Copies of this chain bind each other. A is one copy, B any other.
Amino acid sequence: MDIPSYEDVLQAHQRITPYIHRTPVLTSSYLNQLSGAEIFFKCENLQKVGAFKARGASNAVFGLSDADAVNGVATHSSGNHAAALSFAAARRGIDATVVMPNNAPATKKAAVKSYGGRILECEPTQAAREAMLEQVITETGADAVHPYDDPRVIAGQATCALELQQEVDQLDAVVAPVGGGGLISGTCLTMSTISPQTRIYAAEPANADDAYRSFHAGEIVRQDAQQSVADGLKTNLCPLSWHFVSSFVSDILLASESEILDAMYLTWQRMKIIIEPSSAVPLAIILKNKDLFQGQRVGVIITGGNVDIKNCPGCK
């Protein structure tokens, strides 16, 4: 297993900085009052392609040698990583092929197409995705960039916590969502190196609690077909992300579907930013576990803002 180092994070940051936004860190007096904590929101919803995934994908794409890049890149993803890889490939002028389940939301397909990615549809199962990706790689020689099970991607996602820490130090805790574990792994990698006293919490939907179960079982527990409004968090941990989660995460906390949606609308209404349901899980767990964060400086990573506003669950 190829575990990325902090040196990889610094290299990634240098590599991707020309292609990504330096996203702002926002605060809200209202949410501070409500939570009893002082919360610093790193707003990756305002990132290129509307999600932190632009970081990991850009690091993978721009880290390729010219010889390796010429055959393009490929991935399977139903969401933001697919758009991010298409975006980064277009910036480098190479092809991106994305294997997507045929039930992926139209907005996510449109995003991939708008960045010039080629979509191949498959049945909505993990096996079908992997088989079709394998076929693409065999046929094209493309470099496979997994959404999270890739050290280059994790080093890229780690730059998010790096920038947060550059602007706001002495954080008592950082909270980030956990799905496949790319972002939380990057967060662990950065924070454990430059601010080891900061506690790291993973926030997960109770409806897709494979990481929570893994954490308590002491080994990866896989769960298929998890369903949550936080559609970015339905994936399972992999050995690489499990390494970081099991080594550095203080706890994994769960939020219900309605708690997630409440936190999402609260953020829309009070912070004036659009966040997708996955991004609301950290605030939901902060508001529900006040004793853990009372009086503390807490960093939150807002992971993305790609949601169909007019058709969002519970919006009406």
Question: How far, in Å, is A106 (CB) from chain B's closest CB?
Answer: 13
A236 at the interface (CB under 8 A from B): no
Identical subunits present:
2
A81 at the interface (CB under 8 A from B): no
Binds B, one of A132-140, A268-276, A285-293: A268-276
Within 8 A of B (CB), among A7-57: 21, 24, 26-27, 29-30, 45-46, 48, 50
CB distance A272 to B272 under 8 Å? no
What is the bound-complex CA distance between A297 and B62, given in angstroms? 29
CB distance A50 to B272 under 8 Å? yes
> With A48-B29, A274-B274, A316-B316 in contact, do A309 and B24 touch (Cβ < 8 Å)?
no
Question: How far, in Å, is A93 (CB) from chain B's closest CB?
Answer: 16
Interface residues on A, range: 20 to 34
Question: How far, in Å, is A218 (CB) from chain B's closest CB?
Answer: 38
A225 at the interface (CB under 8 A from B): no
CB distance B48 to A309 under 8 Å? no
Contact of A273 among B27, B274, B315 (CB under 8 A): B274
Interface residues of A (CB under 8 A from B): 21, 24, 26-27, 29-30, 45-46, 48, 50, 114, 265, 268-269, 271-275, 305, 309-310, 315-316
